[in-house]
Amino acid sequence: MLIKAVKNPETFALILVLAWLPQAVIGAGATPDPIKESPVVANQLPASGEVARQEMQNLMDHGVQLLVPELVNSGTFYPFAVMLGHDGNIRVVGTEAGERTNQPQVMVAALVKKSQQLAIEKRIRAVAFFMDYVASRRDTGFSQAGIRVELDHLHPDALSVFVPYSITSDKKLRLMTPQYNKGKNVVF
């Protein structure tokens, strides 16, 4: 597998995004659901770097599939988190469209708090926070809308990704060259 051979974080991040690009354009019609309670699972050993990267890739794939329909139809999406439990199940934490009364920043803070609580309870091993974001591009200095993803893992491999996008007149999502930064472990 190519990912196992990649040691450079920037190269890995590029492969990570390229691997989910085709899935991002296809999308899925799902809306984030509140997390369902499940029993606490015994603590597991931290994952190796390769396993952590694959788990983060899975979270990224899942999250992008969830956000594409809302982003294309309304031009934005509300923040949500995709979590990987110690049981191997992926869960989505978000807010239904009709119940979105808080500012996005308030929602992000609530998602971080919930993730920290679940990490303390040893119920999750990885989390990806997805936000619609406007940033200044490093190459042009202009403002650019993008998908900001903060990937946090029990393994100390946190990654921050900004994927600029545009939506075409025929309602297709066009992803541009991503920007990568070292992430912060805010949960683990």
Asked if residue 69 belongs to a domain, the reply is yes
Residue 38 inside a domain? The answer is no
Among left, alpha and beta (phi > 0; psi -120 to 50; other), residue 171 is: left
> What 3-state class would DSSP assign to 78?
coil
pLDDT tens readout for residues 158-183: 899 998 899 999 999 998 887 888 99
Residue 73 lies in a domain: yes
Residue 172, domain extent: 2-33+46-182
Residue 145 main-chain phi, psi, to 5 deg: -70, 145
Which residue carries 């708090």 as its tokens? 113
Q: What is the pLDDT of residues 98-114, one digit of tens each?
A: 788 888 999 999 999 99
User: What are the residues facing 85 on neighbouring strands?
Assistant: 124
Residue 151 in domain: yes
The answer to whether residue 41 is domain-embedded is: no
Angstrom distance (rounded) from CA 34 to CA 111: 11
Asked whether residue 39 is assigned to any structural domain, the reply reads no
Whole-number average pLDDT of the chain: 78
Please report which confidence band the pLDDT of residue 84 belongs to, taking 50, 70 and 90 as the band edges.
very high
Instruction: Write down the pTM of the prediction.
Output: 0.72
- d(CA 44, CA 177) in angstroms, rounded, equals 36
Structure tokens at 10: 């920037």
| Number of structural domains the chain divides into | 1
- With residue 115 as reference, give the H or E element that holds it: helix 104-120
